[in-house]
């Protein structure tokens, strides 16, 4: 059944991720970056939630669709990177081949890190989630692997934020991937569907809202303590609270702008925001306004707005193609 509130949350998450990549001036930018860390985990949870009870045919269909998007998005950003090299006068066959060296390919396979643009890790990680989930479904194990949720998230916090606190941080690649981010949140969303179906969802809307506020405050404290990270305990609490609240108020936001964004354009906002960001930054340098404070405050809003318009155009184009 359609959940309008989840779509609202997806819409908010899409713009939150834009604020991770296109920050406001400090200290507001740093604070928003920390608060926005719930965005990608929420997308994984939604995917897991709507995978509950789906057979292998549905999983395969989603995998094919996602794989096509994975190839298309990486292809677009490969061309985008080549254009950037051409503009700099450094486009050579050797430079183009450098994107496919063994180190880049290994990072792509193991940690989902695209050699063309970092944020595309999400598509690879989600594809891995569906691949592994398809195996779980065939083996009848999908409800027996929930122990991986606390195990993977605990490892994420320990290796990511925990080591950073003691000044021994490791590369974000080892935590921002399918293994320690995508899989646990995907399974958590799956578990939430099961609990909802059994009528075992715990907590009132007020408690969920309190969890969101507490998670936000905790994220700010963790941000100051660790100096910045990919995921905080507060982010996990915020994601859980937002998701739980959406399940209790499924009609909230019905017909709203954010519900539309979450249902139709959130993924494309996520995918194409970096192209928009590059263009806006380039124009700002050309216009000589890059250092102006007004531009620095308006830039994230501009990138978010144009990314939404571009996403709407892409969706309309896809619909037009299907009709004809």
Q: Are 179 and 129 in contact (CB under 8 A)?
A: no
Which pair of tokens denotes residue 204? 């009132």
Mean pLDDT of 171-185: 96
Q: In whole angstroms, what is the distance from residue 193 CA to residue 222 CA?
A: 30
Does the pLDDT value for residue 198 go beyond 70? yes
Q: Are 243 and 169 in contact (CB under 8 A)?
A: no
Q: With pLDDT > 90 as the criterion, what percentage of the chain qualifies?
A: 91
List % helix, strand, coil for the chain (3-state, nearest 5): 80, 0, 20
pLDDT for 181 equals: 98
Q: In whole angstroms, what is the distance from residue 39 CA to residue 238 CA?
A: 10
pLDDT in tens, 61-82: 999 999 999 999 999 999 999 9
Q: Are 190 and 142 in contact (CB under 8 A)?
A: yes
Does the pLDDT value for residue 281 go beyond 70? yes
Does the pLDDT value for residue 228 go beyond 90? no
Does the pLDDT value for residue 321 go beyond 80? no
pLDDT for 196 equals: 94
Mean pLDDT of 145-157: 98
Q: In whole angstroms, what is the distance from residue 125 CA to residue 74 CA?
A: 14
Does the pLDDT value for residue 319 go beyond 90? no
Which one has a higher pLDDT value, 318 or 277?
A: 277
pLDDT in tens, 13-50: 999 999 999 999 989 999 999 999 999 999 999 999 99
pLDDT in tens, 104-120: 999 999 999 999 999 99
Residue 247: φ, ψ to 5°:
-70, -25
Q: Provide the whole-model pTM.
A: 0.96
Which pair of tokens denotes residue 121? 């890790």
pLDDT for 324 equals: 63
**Long-range contacts of the stretch 223-230 (C-beta < 8 A, 24+):** 223/30, 223/31, 223/33, 223/34, 225/165, 226/161, 226/164, 226/165, 227/164, 228/30, 228/33, 228/34, 228/164, 229/37, 229/160, 229/161, 229/164, 230/37, 230/156, 230/160, 230/172, 230/175, 230/176, 230/181
**What's the whole-number average pLDDT of the chain?**
95
């Amino acid at each position: 059944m359609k959940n309008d509130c989840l779509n609202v949350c997806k819409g908010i998450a899409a713009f939150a991720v834009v604020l991770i990549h296109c920050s406001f001036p400090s200290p507001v930018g740093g604070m928003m970056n920390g608060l926005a860390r719930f965005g990608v985990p929420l997308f994984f949870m939604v995917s897991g939630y709507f995978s509950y009870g789906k057979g292998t045919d549905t999983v395969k269909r989603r995998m094919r669709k996602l794989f096509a998007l994975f190839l298309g998005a990486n292809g677009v950003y490969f061309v985008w990177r080549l254009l950037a090299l051409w503009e700099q006068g450094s486009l050579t066959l050797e430079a183009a081949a450098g994107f496919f060296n063994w180190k880049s390919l290994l990072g792509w396979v193991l940690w989902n890190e695209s050699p063309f643009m970092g944020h595309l890790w999400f598509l690879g990680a989600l594809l891995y989630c569906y691949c592994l989930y398809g195996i779980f479904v065939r083996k009848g194990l999908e409800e027996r692997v929930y122990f991986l949720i606390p195990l993977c998230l605990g490892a994420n916090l320990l290796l990511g934020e925990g080591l950073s606190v003691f000044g021994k941080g490791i590369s974000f690649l080892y935590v921002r991937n399918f293994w320690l981010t995508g899989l646990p949140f995907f399974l958590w969303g799956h578990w939430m569907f099961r609990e909802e179906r059994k009528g075992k969802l715990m907590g009132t809307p007020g408690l969920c809202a309190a969890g969101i506020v507490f998670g936000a405050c905790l994220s700010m404290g963790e941000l100051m303590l660790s100096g910045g990270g990919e995921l905080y305990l507060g982010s996990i609490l915020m994601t859980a609270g937002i998701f739980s609240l959406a399940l209790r108020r499924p009609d909230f936001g019905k017909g709203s702008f954010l519900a539309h964004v979450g249902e139709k354009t959130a993924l494309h906002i996520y995918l194409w925001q970096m192209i928009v960001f590059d263009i806006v930054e380039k124009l700002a340098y050309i216009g000589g306004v890059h250092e102006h404070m007004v531009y620095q405050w308006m830039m994230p809003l501009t990138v978010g707005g144009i990314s939404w318009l571009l996403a709407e155009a892409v969706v309309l184009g896809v619909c037009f193609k299907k009709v004809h």
